[in-house]
């Protein structure tokens, strides 16, 4: 059975399309806010639609935001804004999101939906590479430990560089979530298979997963949702 067209193409880890459809139709789509559905439909025909956060992973992120009572968040990698929109819909009215992406044109695709939802005041969008912005934030001592939650879906080769900086920006007890940490399942593939799935990113992701597993500063869990999402809770 083919997936319905409303599902954005995504390197999802569930091997059965029927099982993925069941998960989405049973527990995800019935609870998906209308603005998120609108943005998902807007993004579905984009040539890079697979870059969007998977709806089931997004639902998981929204639950984490609610469980932690996050109010001040930072997001690295925005694309058309699905994860950004779900964060803005979830945090309080006076919550704030620092959103960083190199491509403002992609963000503009979702901007009408964000404005229509009435949550644009929560978002500060910065068009830039992430590392210079993080370094600039760290120049101000007041920013250290000031963020409740971070979501990372940017340049995979820099995940560990992001991690080191976010560990200073996110508070003790705060959450950092990294998307695509199973990279289409290629992290467990043999070397011959990895070759056509993006070898450099695969190897970087494998190394990141090893490093994060050995990091005593965080509690972790790698959830096989979407393309894999690793959740870290800062211990110290």
Residue range 20-68, pLDDT digits in tens: 899 999 999 999 999 999 999 999 999 999 999 999 999 999 999 999 9
What average pLDDT does the segment 169-189 reach? 95
Burial class of residue 213 (count of CB atoms within 10 Å of its CB; 0-12, 13-18, 19+):
exposed
Burial class of residue 10 (count of CB atoms within 10 Å of its CB; 0-12, 13-18, 19+):
buried
More reliable by pLDDT, 191 or 223: 223
Query: What is the per-residue pLDDT for 189?
Result: 83
Q: Sheet holding 147-152: strands in order across? A: 123-127, 96-101, 72-76, 147-152, 170-179, 229-234, 218-223
pTM: 0.91
Residue 8: which pLDDT band, with cuts at 50, 70 and 90? very low
- The pLDDT mean for the chain works out to 92
The single residue listed with the structure tokens 């960083």 is 100
Query: What is the per-residue pLDDT for 209?
Result: 97
Closest by CA to 155, choosing from 116, 103, 220, 85, is: 103
Query: What is the per-residue pLDDT for 17?
Result: 86
Structure tokens, 66: 């609610």
Contact 221, 231 (CB under 8 A): yes
Report d(CA 27, CA 5) in Å as an integer: 18
Query: What is the per-residue pLDDT for 195?
Result: 53
Burial class of residue 235 (count of CB atoms within 10 Å of its CB; 0-12, 13-18, 19+):
exposed
Structure tokens, 22: 């069941």
What average pLDDT does the segment 71-85 reach? 98
């Amino acid at each position: 059975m083919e997936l319905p067209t409303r599902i954005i193409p995504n390197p999802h880890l569930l091997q059965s399309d029927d099982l993925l459809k069941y998960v989405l139709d049973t527990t995800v789509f019935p609870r998906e806010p209308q603005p998120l559905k609108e943005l998902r439909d807007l993004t579905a025909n984009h040539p890079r639609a697979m870059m969007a956060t998977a709806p089931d992973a997004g639902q998981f992120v929204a639950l984490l935001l609610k469980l932690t009572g996050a109010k001040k968040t930072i997001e690295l990698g925005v694309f058309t804004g699905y994860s950004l929109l779900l964060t803005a819909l979830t945090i309080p009215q006076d919550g704030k999101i620092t959103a960083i992406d190199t491509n403002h044109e992609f963000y503009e695709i979702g901007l009408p939906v964000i404005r229509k939802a009435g949550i644009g005041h929560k978002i500060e969008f910065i068009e830039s590479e992430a590392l210079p912005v993080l370094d600039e934030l760290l120049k101000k001592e007041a920013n250290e430990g000031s963020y409740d939650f971070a979501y990372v879906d940017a340049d995979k080769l820099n995940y560990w560089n992001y991690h080191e900086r976010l560990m200073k920006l996110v508070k003790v007890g705060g959450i950092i979530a990294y998307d695509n940490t199973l990279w289409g399942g290629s992290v467990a593939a043999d070397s011959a298979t990895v070759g056509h799935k993006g070898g450099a990113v695969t190897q970087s992701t494998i190394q990141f997963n090893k490093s994060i597993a050995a990091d005593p500063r965080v509690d972790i869990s790698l959830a096989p949702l979407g393309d894999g999402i690793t959740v870290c809770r800062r211990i110290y």
